[in-house]
Amino acid sequence: MGGGVDHHALLRAAPQTFAYAWQDSPVGLLAWLVQKFKEFTITAATPEQAIARDQILTNATLWWLTGTAGTSSWFMYDNTAFAWPKGQDRVPSGVYGGGPALIRRLAERHNTIIHWPEGNPGGHFVAMEVPQAHAADIRTFFGKLR
């Protein structure tokens, strides 16, 4: 992933500035999204090798036509830390990817994790990169709820 811009820092500082820019320019929005796809698509050398160009364009088009690109980053405004949700221990939870044992211990403090597989393929855009593997994992999670 190296060499990317810390987009969280940018969005924490000025989410509304980006929202105006993304809504004003579909080309600007597409450029931002393609850069994120390049940075976070880890299953192939280029995003187009893992995700069909039409799907990338459809994703950008839906965000632009519905005016929701900007609101997708509002939660980052003035937010400096990620935290696992708390108080969800009554609801069974599943996690797609593995992770360090420390993260799992933190997650299990306030959540009932019933599905935490190791070694799942895909990156940030897993549902678009490896949809069959992602769907199989969702089926496995819900199969445990029976």
Give residue 8's pLDDT band: very low, low, confident or very high (50, 70, 90).
confident
Q: How is the chain split into domains, by residue range?
A: 7-76, 88-143
How far apart are alpha carbons 116 and 36 in whole angstroms? 26
Give the separation between CA 85 and CA 120, rounded to whole angstroms: 22
> How many CB atoms are closer than 10 A to CB 109?
9
CA nearest to 107, candidates 85, 133, 139, 78: 85
Note the pLDDT of residue 44.
Answer: 85
Query: pLDDT averaged over the chain?
Result: 83
Taking only the tens place, the pLDDT of each residue in 122-135 is 778 888 888 898 99
Q: What is the pLDDT of residues 76-96, one digit of tens each?
A: 766 766 666 777 788 898 887
How far is CA 40 from each of CA 5, 50, 110, 142, rounded to the nearest angstrom?
Answer: 12, 11, 28, 27
Choose from 106-110, 115-119, 141-145 the range with maximum mean pLDDT: 141-145
Average pLDDT rounded to a whole number, residues 13-25: 84
* % of the chain at pLDDT higher than 90: 23
Give the lowest-confidence range in 12-16, 33-37, 40-44, 48-52: 12-16
Q: Give how far Cα 15 sits from Cα of 7, 124, 128, Å.
A: 10, 21, 25
pTM above 0.95, yes or no: no
How crowded is residue 142: how many other Cβ atoms within 10 Å of its Cβ?
12
Q: Which two tokens stand for residue 22?
A: 């993304």
